[in-house]
Amino acid sequence: MKLRAVISKIEEEISIRQAEDFDNVGLLCGVPDRDVSGILVCHDALENVVDEAIERNCNLIVCFHPIIFSGLKSLTGKNYVERAVLKAIENKIAIYAIHTAFDNDFFGVNHGICSQLGLKNMKILQPKENNLKQLTVFVPKEYSEKVKEAMFSAGAGSIGFYDECSFTVNGNGTFRPVEGSNPFSGQQNIRENADEDMISVIFEGFKQGQIVSAMRTAHPYEEVAHQIYSLDNKNHHVGLGMYGELEEEMDEKDFLRFVKEKFGLEVIKHSAFNNKKIKRVGVLGGSGASGIRAAVSKKCDAYLTGDLKYHDYFLAESKMLICDIGHYESEQFVSQQLFEILSQKFSTFAISKSIEKTNPVNYFI
């Protein structure tokens, strides 16, 4: 299978277009028309991981963190990024990064953390804003189903765990073909009345081009009357962080012991105890100070993340227990998640999970 086709199948499951704007995701190096012999899944595509890919005959590395994050002005092997990228290029190994596309995915990084904790009633902590649009199109009644099917196939009408969602109102439309027109029905210079359906669908903004193209192709009119609106609605099924409830509430120290056991931790940094029971828990994998206020607003009793600074621990205002379990530690289940997703998608070549250590942080206990 060509690399281009492999990437297309991956993005059927995890849309790269839902990544944060600052991120550098997708194909970082590699030739899209080259055949894929095997895939190695890892957390960080470091030089030792590229060596592992060579040894395992994998010419595609699917990594969580992008090895190329800021711009490269040269490739001379002077640092760990350049050495990894150079070795990948020299050995014809492609690198594809997924990062915040998987952070924002409902079943991504934070779903994995919540599942490890056994949380129930999981919801997105920070739903994505400016993400949804609505398309309204006017269609001759006899073509209504055809146009709807075309838009559904292109990704319109998917709302959370429902798809093929639309709303249709029947009415009477008027038009008058003038000189130069080639009308589907009616005659030039005569006003016509048409029995039409007004179809409305909601979609994620990045799908707009493909949906409009599909709609126009299926529509019989020479000039298609349609409108597209940006919605203020948040997308509650895409976004950073999650929160949910423990099966049974715990006191704070028991909760920390529980987290240490579930995540295999030696140490947890945390804010002061509030003598509160822990039931609702918020999580955000990686660097998650940005989610503290959102977790407080959702009335979380505890919040798990990584990379917190001194002043971040004050942000909960004694309303919530803040726990810094470490950046890598909070994302440690990602490789297994990606391995399982790709193993289900591809059966014609090997999917391997890296065994190389890439966590740069060590603890002296």
Q: pLDDT per residue over 117-171, tens digit each?
A: 999 999 999 999 999 999 999 999 999 999 999 999 999 999 889 999 999 999 9
Share the mean pLDDT of the chain. 96
Helix (H) / strand (E) containing 245? strand 235-250
- CATH 3.40.50.10860 is the classification of domain 132-231: no
Which CATH fold topology does 3-98+333-353 show?
3.40.1390
Q: Which amino acid is at 339?
A: F
Question: Tens of pLDDT along 10-31?
Answer: 999 999 999 999 999 999 999 9
Task: Tell me whether residue 65 is annotated as binding.
Answer: yes
Strand partners, 305: 324
d(CA 192, CA 222): 15
Q: Give the tens place of pLDDT for each residue, 54-83.
A: 999 999 999 999 999 988 999 999 999 999
Domain ranges of the chain: 3-98+333-353, 105-125+240-324, 132-231
State how far the Cα of 288 lies from the Cα of 323, in Å rounded to an integer. 10
pTM of the model: 0.92
The type of residue at 302 is A
- Fold for 105-125+240-324, please state it: 3.40.1390
Give 235's contacts (C-beta < 8 A, 6+ positions apart). Answer: 127, 128, 129, 131, 132, 204
Asked if 10 contacts 17 with a C-beta cutoff of 8 angstroms, the reply is: no
Rounded to whole angstroms, how far apart are CA atoms 98 and 357? 19
Residue with tokens 């600074």: 309
Task: Please tell me what DSSP assigns to residue 101.
Answer: H
**In 163-311, alpha helices (H):** 208-218, 252-263, 292-297
Question: Hey, what are 362's tokens?
Answer: 């060590």
> pLDDT at position 347, please?
84
- According to the annotation, is 103 in a ligand binding site? yes
The answer to whether 144 and 53 are in contact (CB under 8 A) is no
Same fold, 105-125+240-324 and 132-231: no
Q: Which of 41, 105, 64, 81 is nearest to 328 (CA)?
A: 64
pLDDT band at 365 (very low <50, low <70, confident <90, very high): confident
Q: Which residues contact 85 (CB under 8 A, 6 or more apart)?
A: 28, 29, 67, 68, 72, 75, 95
Per-residue pLDDT tens over the stretch 75-130: 999 999 999 999 999 999 999 999 999 999 999 999 999 999 999 999 999 999 99
Label residue 205 by pLDDT band (50, 70, 90): very high
Tell me: pLDDT of 247 over 90: yes
The pLDDT tens digits for 297-350 are 999 999 999 999 999 999 999 999 999 999 999 999 999 999 999 999 998 888
Q: Number of H helices and number of E strands within the chain?
A: 11, 15
CA angle 26, 31, 35 (to 5 degrees): 105
